[in-house]
A and B are shown apart, each in its own frame.
Chain A
Amino acid sequence: MANVEPAVVIEGLGKRFGRIEALRDVSFAVEPGQTYGLLGPGGCGKTTLIRLLLGALRPSAGRALVLGRPVPSPVTAGTVGYMPQLPALYLELTARENVSFFASLYGVHSRQAVEETLALVELAGRADSTVSTFSGGMKQRASLACALVHRPRLLLLDEPTVGVDPRLRATFWAYFHRLNGEGVTIILSSHVMDEADRCHRLILLRDGRLLAEGAPAELRSRAGTSTLEEAFLAFAGDGT
């Protein structure tokens, strides 16, 4: 593994919003072709970390390298896919129009790529319905399609499985692992501990600080607990 260039390198990364320190001195490296889970309660800095990696925020301290380049970089912008926490879509447009709009922004003009992506998120049958008629889970799927359509090398997914039913969630995960097999790196955030076991590696965050980093099994054994939930509490070092 050491001879493979990391997909993401974070060194001493910190972000302040006025007096609030959203992220403090976080460092880790992400191996390519793996799924990393950012795990922690709401407000722990998961979204801030993702937005720093996107270049949508500027760090107050430290730096982030994505695919070998400091962010934000116009070169990496085309090879990163981003799915925000709230399904950011154009409600007046159909699912297909939303996906092909984002495809065009990434320079993907093939109709086939759009159709394949819609099929993948199981929206092919509703591709011509406007997104405003969609349920929460369907919007989530359309949003994921917009992040995937240009076949990115790195996927940043902020709570991708919220509102998605268990069956489709399994489909998502199978697809994530298939992408990993193709060399795609995925960083996703979640506050659901039972989802964490499907990640290759976990990054535990609390109050903007890195608590621990490692494979799920490794974290459990290091903490000496049987569940990740207990492990998280053990690393947090108090009863909260």
Chain B
Amino acid sequence: MSIPRTWAVTLRIVRQFRRDPRTLILLFAVPAVVILLVGYLLRSSSGGIRLGFVDETGGTAAPALQALGQTLSEAGVTPRYLSRPQAEKEVKDGDLDGAIVIAPAAQGTGVSVLLEGSNAQRSKAILRIARQVPLALSAASMPPPAESDLSVTYYHGGPDFETIDSQAPPLVGFYAFFFVFLLTTVSFLRERTVGTLERLMVTPITRAELVLGYVAGFGIFAVLQAIVILLVTIVVLQVEYTGSLAVVLLLVVTVTVAAANLGIFLSTFARTELQAVQFIPIVIVPQGLLSSVIWPIDTLPRWLQGVAHLLPLTYSNEALRNVMIRGQGLLDAGVAVNFLVLVGFAAIFVVIASATLRRQVA
């Protein structure tokens, strides 16, 4: 393995990109614009939370609730007081985003939350308010709830309901896969048709060096792209993530290895660039639809769930969500298992890509 030869290929790809501003824009601006659009579309409905208070304590909690209501009004949320059946009906119908129910319990006071649930931003905001209730109760010298956990009822969606928080992590992997796959397929096709691949293959460069040079060249751009996507979601959309950036980038690099080698492999089956683009609906679109970028896999029909588990992005999405939302590390099962499956996919694609490069020598 010669590092200078590998680096020569990497440097060449970087230079080719630098001369191609249109592709650079595609690479960085398109994911940023899409994630902003998704973010604003989901955010636009998050203002003006409609909250209900249900007081079943016979009035003893009223001072505490009023004090809390006062603070909330200043923040733009004015709770309405309802009876429990009415609150349940309104939350279910979507007339309220949620209701906080205060009721006498065996020990202390019970606090439960009813959530409409389809908008994770609002659900989270209401949960935050509900967590302030015990404090408000003790301030009004009411017995606080015995249990620290709130009893939460979702009428729609659920705690994992998809919005921008859970949409950004898979988009990081999706765009890395999409662009690296597309660009490798076209670049390699060009190498074949122009004849530079034959020229390369008669130099002392080995297949491994060539593939590694390609992976590194596109990997640099994939990592930069991932950083742009993360910056946009964290800085502009102000989504909070917990996990380690290093693990996110490691996952992006693994996705790049898989996508680049799948691209090299499939470029053998395309004669023109138009035919190369035809791989997008075959390789990219099903992964976009089935790998939980938009819909969670467990909501898919059973047979489609089976298909989803054959797609590399399913595993990268799951791992990226576990890192970015749940703050898991590389060694946690939710990341490690998915990462290993992803490495397996990458290994298979490396093998089939080198096999097609070997077949160049007829």
Chain A contact residues, CB within 8 Å of chain B: 17, 51, 54-58, 72, 74, 77-78, 80, 82, 84, 86, 88-93, 97, 101-102, 104-107, 109, 130, 146
Contacts and interface: CB of A to CB of B under 8 A. Distances in A.
A86 B11 CA distance: 24
A89 B199 CA distance: 9
A78 B205 CA distance: 9
Given A55-B361, A101-B8, A88 B204 contact: no
Interface string B349-362: 00000000000111
B196 interface: yes
Nearest to A77: B204
Given A101-B11, A106-B203, 7 more contacts: A56-B202, A58-B361, A78-B203, A88-B195, A91-B194, A101-B12, A105-B8
Contacts of A130: 19
A105 B198 contact: no
Contact of A102 (B2, B16, B203, B362): B203
Which applies to chain B's interface (DSSP): helix, strand, loop or mixed?
A: helix
A72 B362 CA distance: 12
Given A93-B15, A93-B19, A78 B204 contact: yes
Contacts of B195: 84, 86, 88
Nearest to A55: B202
Contacts of A80: 202
A107 B204 contact: yes
A88 B202 CA distance: 13
Nearest to B194: A88
By size class, the interface of chain B is 20 to 34
B201 interface: yes
A103 to B, nearest CB: 9
A53 to B, nearest CB: 10
A51 B200 CA distance: 13
A17 B362 CA distance: 9
A92 B205 CA distance: 21
B360 to A, nearest CB: 8
B4 A109 contact: yes
A109 B198 CA distance: 22
B298 interface: no
A17 B196 CA distance: 22
Contacts of B156: none
28 contacts: A56-B198, A56-B361, A57-B361, A57-B362, A58-B361, A72-B202, A74-B204, A82-B199, A84-B195, A84-B199, A86-B195, A88-B195, A88-B196, A88-B198, A89-B194, A90-B12, A91-B194, A92-B19, A92-B20, A101-B8, A102-B199, A102-B203, A104-B4, A105-B205, A106-B203, A106-B204, A107-B204, A130-B19
Give 4 closest A-B pairs by Cβ, nearest first.
A88-B195, A104-B8, A105-B203, A92-B19
Contacts of B11: 101
B5 A105 contact: yes
A204 to B, nearest CB: 26
A104 to B, nearest CB: 4
Interface of B: 2, 4-5, 7-8, 11-12, 15-16, 19-20, 194-196, 198-205, 360-362
Contacts of A106: 203-204
Contacts of A51: 198
B204 A97 contact: no
A14 to B, nearest CB: 14
B361 A72 contact: yes
A155 B322 CA distance: 57
B194 A93 contact: no
A104 B5 contact: yes
A58 B361 CA distance: 7
A17 B203 CA distance: 24
A91 B15 CA distance: 11
A90 B11 CA distance: 13
A109 B11 CA distance: 14
A90 B19 CA distance: 11
Given A58-B361, A77-B204, A105-B204, A93 B196 contact: no
A105 B195 CA distance: 16
A217 B202 CA distance: 34
B198 A84 contact: yes
A97 B8 CA distance: 10
B293 to A, nearest CB: 32
A102 B360 CA distance: 19
Nearest to A102: B203
A178 B267 CA distance: 42
Contacts of B361: 55-58, 72
A28 to B, nearest CB: 21
Given A93-B12, A105-B8, A56 B201 contact: yes
Contacts of B360: 56
A105 B203 CA distance: 7
A77 B202 contact: yes
A204 B33 CA distance: 62
Contact of A105 (B16, B200, B362): B200
A56 B8 CA distance: 22
B14 to A, nearest CB: 11
Contacts of A74: 204
Given A57-B362, A88-B194, A93 B5 contact: no
Contacts of B2: 107
Contacts of B362: 17, 57-58
Nearest to A84: B195
